[in-house]
Amino acid sequence: MKWLCVAVAALILAGCGQGVVTAQSTDKTAGAADKAADVADEATQSAESAEAAEPEQEQDPGRLPTETAKLSYVFGMDVANALKNIDTELDRDAFFRGIADVLDGEGALLTAEEAETVKMAFFMKEQIKMRQKMQELGDKNQKEGDAYLAANKDKEGVKTTDTGLQYVVIEEGDGPNPTAADVVNVHYRGSLLDGTEFDSSYKRNEPATFPVGGVIPGWQEALQLMKVGGKYRVFVPSNLAYGERGAGQVIPPNSTLIFEVELLGIEKPEMPDETVPGAATGDGG
């Protein structure tokens, strides 16, 4: 900065004296140079004072200037994502204190045994809350399902079996009925009473194949009522479906389910290969 000020001052003075300075004494030349230096010093001091007066630019707190900062931030995001769905209040000061004490190797405020006790007590309370929540949801679904089936049974085309299963024949088949021991090939879609579709072989563009005896009771009964080539809409009470357990996050407890089922075929059981050692033969040998 100082060299720039000196140069500017020298140019100013040189411009002022242009056409005036002649072959006079070198003392005047030296005096002009001294004056230029004085002006330059004053300009430098003024510039330095101006710079000192300017406030320092604050660093953007949202910046992640290094790879270490970015990685640290990502780890923080991971921890937060793991915790944000926990239905409890966190003391952030204590939370960050726990992280710092462990990372810095400082003495923890709780022993390992005390920490485990705190966690176990928390998880036990969470389990109790979850069971209560599921019980309330199950009771609600049971009442809604019972009311739905009571109204549905009087609708045109609806048939009700002794078990309480309801169905409508969309298209009657002309093939054989499967038995509980058969393996069937079907297309289907399943939904909750509110219309939420939770499964569909149509969307997968691939029929499903499974043993009749390996599915929920409502399906077992419905499949054995159908003939190959038929298509039914089936209303399955919760006790013939997944009951109080539900099915993961997809089917809540005590849900009445609605299925459209298309029976495509009955798979023939594989016959024993007589070339395989130990396969049964007609002569008992």
Q: Which three-class secondary structure string do you get for 8-75?
A: HHHHHHHHHHCCCCCCCCHHHHHHHHHHHHHHHHHHHHHHHHHHHHCCCCCCCCCCCCCHHHHHHHHH
pLDDT, average across residues 247-274:
85
Q: Note if 167 is an active site residue.
A: no
Mean of per-residue pLDDT scores for the chain = 80
Among candidate residues 188, 232, 251, 258, the one labeled active-site is 188
Instruction: Give the model confidence (pLDDT) of 1-27 as tens digits.
Output: 433 343 333 433 344 444 333 333 334
Least confident of 85-94, 148-157, 231-240, 275-284: 275-284
State the alpha helices, DSSP H only, in 86-187: 92-104, 112-152
Among candidate residues 41, 101, 199, 202, the one labeled active-site is 199
Tokens (6 digits) for 60: 């953007």
Among candidate residues 242, 251, 258, 266, the one labeled active-site is 242
pLDDT of 275 higher than 50: no
Q: What is the pLDDT of residue 270?
A: 61
Q: Note if 99 is an active site residue.
A: no
Find, among 173, 184, 149, 166, the residue nearest to 266 by Cα: 184
Instruction: Give the model confidence (pLDDT) of 30-65 as tens digits.
Output: 444 454 445 445 544 544 454 444 444 444 556 889
Note whether 255 and 141 are within 8 A (CB). Answer: yes
Q: What is the pLDDT of residue 42?
A: 56
Q: Note if 198 is an active site residue.
A: yes
Tokens (6 digits) for 113: 């045994």
Q: Note if 174 is an active site residue.
A: no
From residue 35, give the alpha-carbon distance in Å to each of 8, 20, 28.
13, 16, 10
Instruction: Give the model confidence (pLDDT) of 153-184 as tens digits.
Output: 999 999 999 999 999 999 999 999 999 999 99
Q: What is the pLDDT of residue 21?
A: 32
pLDDT of 80 higher than 70: yes
Find, among 262, 206, 211, 196, the residue nearest to 234 by Cα: 262
Instruction: Give the model confidence (pLDDT) of 191-221 as tens digits.
Output: 999 999 999 999 999 999 999 999 999 999 9
Tell me the CATH architecture of domain 159-267.
Roll (3.10)
Among candidate residues 148, 198, 202, 210, the one labeled active-site is 198
Structure-token match 């000020």, residue found:
5
Phi and psi at 168, nearest 5°, equal: -125, 130
